[in-house]
Amino acid sequence: MEFTKLSSPSLKDLFVQQLQGMILSGALPVGAQLPPERVLAEQMRVSRTVVNSGLAELSDQGFLEVRPRQGTFVADYRRRGNLSTLIAIMQYKGGVLGRDEIRSILEVRRALEHLAAERAIRYASDEALDRLGSALAQIAAASSAEQAAESAFEFQHELALVGGNSIVPLIYYSFQSPVITLWVRFCNLHGIPALVHNTQILYSFIRDRDEAGASQWIDAYLEQAISGNQQIYEFR
C-alpha cells in the first residue's frame, strides 16, 4: 500500500481562511475598513507578502474591495462574488450548502439542462447518444454516494458536450464541486436508485428525441428536488 505525502496549509491559506471566516460570520461586516497591510502583518505575525497576496485572493473572490488611496474594505460578496465565492462559503460551512444556495444552484441547473437536452435531441448523433447511455450505466454501477454523484456529473457534462455548444460544457464544469456535493446529499437522502431512475427517464426522452417529454421531465424532477418529495436541504 502506498501513502501520499501530507501537507499543511500555507500561511497565505490560513490568512485567507481567517478573514473569510470573519466576513462570513459577520465579525467583519460589509463596509468595514481593514487595517493597513503593515498593521495586519504585525497583528497576524506574517510577512507583508502573505498579507498582500491574501488580500488579492479575497478581492478576486468578491469578499474585499481595494479602493486606491483609500484602503481595503469588506465587500458585499452577494453582489461581487463568483463561483470561487460559493466554494469558499461551502468550505467555511464544512461542505454544507444552505437552503438558498441549493435552490439557486438547482434553478440555474434547470435552465442549463433545458438548453443541453434541447441541443442534444436536435443535433447529437446516435453514436453520441450511445456514449451518453454509457455514462448513465456508470451511475447505476456506483457502489457509493460519492461514485454515483461523480458519475451523475459526468452524465450531465457529456449531455452538454454532445449538443455541440462550446460554452455550455464549460459552464457545467465550473459548477462541478457544488453539483457533486448536491448529488452526494441526494443519494444519502433518497438512495442511488432514485438518482438512476431520474436520469434514466431523462435519457429515454433524449434517446427518443422527444423534446417536449424531456423538457417536462426536467421541470418535474428538479421541482421535486427544489420543493417536492425529493428535497435535499437537510439530511435525515
Q: Which pLDDT tens digit goes with each residue over 111-142?
A: 999 999 999 999 999 999 999 999 999 999 99
Calculate the average pLDDT of the chain: 89
Residue 2 scores a pLDDT above 70? no
Residue 216 scores a pLDDT above 80? yes
pLDDT for res 130:
94
φ/ψ region of 140 (left if φ > 0, alpha if ψ in -120 to 50, else beta) reads alpha
pLDDT for res 157:
94
pLDDT for res 174:
81
Among 93-97, 132-136, 173-177, which stretch is predicted with the lowest mean pLDDT?
93-97
CB atoms within 10 A of CB 38: 10
Cβ 109 vs Cβ 129: under 8 Å:
no
- What does the pLDDT average to over 7-21? 88
- Cell numbers 491574501 correspond to 54
The residue with greater pLDDT, 105 or 5, is 105
pLDDT tens readout for residues 155-165 = 999 999 999 99
pLDDT for res 236:
39
Beta strand segments in the chain, E: 64-67, 71-74
Share of the chain above pLDDT 70, in %: 93
Share of the chain above pLDDT 90, in %: 67
Residue 5 scores a pLDDT above 80? no
Tell me if the domain spanning 11-85 has CATH number 1.25.40.10: no
Contacts of 160 (CB under 8 A, 6+ apart): 112, 116, 168, 169, 171, 172
Tell me if the domain spanning 97-227 has CATH number 1.20.81.30: no
Q: Please indicate whether the domains covering 11-85 and 97-227 agree at the CATH topology level.
A: no
Domain range list for the chain: 11-85, 97-227
Give the whole-angstrom CA distance, residue 186 versus residue 231.
8
For residue 16, name the pLDDT band (cuts at 50, 70, 90): very high
pTM for this one? 0.70
Cβ 61 vs Cβ 77: under 8 Å:
yes
